Structure 1
Amino acid sequence: MEIRARNRVRELTAALSVLSLAAVFGAVLGAIPSSVLPRAPAAVLDAIPHVNAVLSTLAIVTILLGVRFIRRGQVKRHRAMMLTTLGLFVAFLVLYLYRIIFRGAAEFPGPETIYQFVYLPILAVHIVLAIVCIPLLYYVVLLAVTRPIDAIYETSHRAVGRIAASLWLISFFLGDVVYAMLYVVY
């Protein structure tokens, strides 16, 4: 299985990206009916943005640690941090989509000028980066998990991983800014 997957990283990346983006857009556009999911109590739905802010902040820390470890040549620690980040992202995304399905997108409670000239541009960049990151992340993860560590150096994992980690880091940070504007500042 690993050898077949190793030879099909691009195809697997494309398939997983399409499935993931279909789930995201399906939830955001209301194509996934809430009746197909068990409904959590209101308190749980209310807590999701706060839990996701914590997950996002932890992901920022694990990305930075992963970068630090790989720069020091600590490959196993790097791998652990990046897989932890992936787990945090998956948890974040599942919770986010679950809340979107039941509650829709949060409305900005602040002034209209801040909404138009600060909040929306930040949100737009966050969303675009999150979408761009999905195939990049699948690609570098699939390269890493389908090969022995020594063989990873023969792939584009390092180059694509630098881009993916940078964009992922910015996206998580901007997500925290969006959270602060929705739930703390206003």
Structure 2
Amino acid sequence: MEYVPRERVRLLTGVLSVVSLAIVFAAAGGRIPSSSVPAAPEWVIETIPLVNAVLSAVAIGTITVGWRAIRRGDIERHRVAMLASFGLFAGFLVLYLYRLTVTGGPQPFPGPDAVYQFVYLPLLAIHIFLAIVCIPLLYYVLLLAASRPVTEIPQTSHARIGRVAATLWLISFSLGIVVFVLLHGVY
């Protein structure tokens, strides 16, 4: 059963990526007014970073399960794990963007300037860069899988691009947890 026309995978990947990244950059840049989202109690806003760290840790687990499953030939388990990973990523992103919109932008780093410049900022930059790169890769592999029967997927670039996407995704989620620990645990 085809959900996505095969010839439209690249176009849909591009459109979804541009729209997603536009929303991310608008929220990060304070371009989305806080009045456009529902209000939440302060404790909810303060809990979002912890929830996102937990979502990231669970996503690391589901990506790893999906990767191991496909290496063992368990396509169904791979599919379930990777869809769960994408759902966790989407949940993370919704909560992150909501918090950015409500608070008016990223949280300032509370630690020493040297740690900010030489540890936190480089880690954050790599985390953000990898997250941005992952978005079109993830859409592409998902749309490839959704547009073809399972028997045809090995003839596509799904596996090759999926390995790259999963690797970058794991690194990005891991660095996100480190950023959380620096912001909320260490300082």
The TM-score bracket by the shorter chain reads over 0.9
* Structure 1 match to 2:119: 118
Give the match's secondary structure for 2:5. helix
* Structure 1 match to 2:76: 76
What is the CA distance between 1:31 and its match in structure 2? Answer: 1.2
What is the CA distance between 1:96 and its match in structure 2? Answer: 0.1
* Structure 2 match to 1:26: 26
Is 1:175 aligned to 2:184, yes or no?
Answer: no
Mapped to 2, the partners of 1:136 and 1:169 lie a distance apart of 13
Gaps of 5+ in 1: none
Q: Which amino acid aligns with 2:58?
A: L
Change (3 A) 1:3 1:49: closer
State how 1:75-114 maps to structure 2 within 5 Å.
75-103=75-103, 104-114=105-115
Give the match's secondary structure for 1:47. helix
Q: Are the equivalent residues in 1 in contact too, given 2:24–2:97 (CA < 8 A)?
A: yes
What is the CA distance between 1:147 and its match in structure 2? Answer: 1.2
State how 1:1-186 maps to structure 2 within 5 Å.
2=2, 5-103=5-103, 104-186=105-187
Give the match's secondary structure for 1:8. helix
Mapped to 2, the partners of 1:122 and 1:81 lie a distance apart of 27
Q: Are the equivalent residues in 1 in contact too, given 2:4–2:143 (CA < 8 A)?
A: no
Mapped to 2, the partners of 1:47 and 1:106 lie a distance apart of 13
What is the CA distance between 1:3 and its match in structure 2? Answer: 6.4
Q: TM-score, normalised by structure 1?
A: 0.98
Q: Are the equivalent residues in 2 in contact too, given 1:63–1:82 (CA < 8 A)?
A: yes
Q: TM-score, normalised by structure 2?
A: 0.97
What is the CA distance between 1:106 and its match in structure 2? Answer: 1.0
Gaps of 5+ in 2: none
Mapped to 2, the partners of 1:64 and 1:165 lie a distance apart of 9
Q: Which amino acid aligns with 2:50?
A: H
Q: Are the equivalent residues in 1 in contact too, given 2:2–2:149 (CA < 8 A)?
A: no
Structure 1 runs (4+) deviating above 6 angstroms are none
Q: Are the equivalent residues in 2 in contact too, given 1:5–1:12 (CA < 8 A)?
A: no
Mapped to 2, the partners of 1:127 and 1:173 lie a distance apart of 12
Mapped to 2, the partners of 1:12 and 1:89 lie a distance apart of 19
What is the CA distance between 1:5 and its match in structure 2? Answer: 2.3
What is the CA distance between 1:30 and its match in structure 2? Answer: 1.2
Please tell me the root mean square deviation across aligned C-alpha atoms, in Å: 1.1
Give the match's secondary structure for 2:110. coil
Change (3 A) 1:4 1:106: closer
Change (3 A) 1:158 1:46: same
Mapped to 2, the partners of 1:3 and 1:16 lie a distance apart of 16
How many equivalent residue pairs?
186
Mapped to 1, the partners of 2:111 and 2:4 lie a distance apart of 52
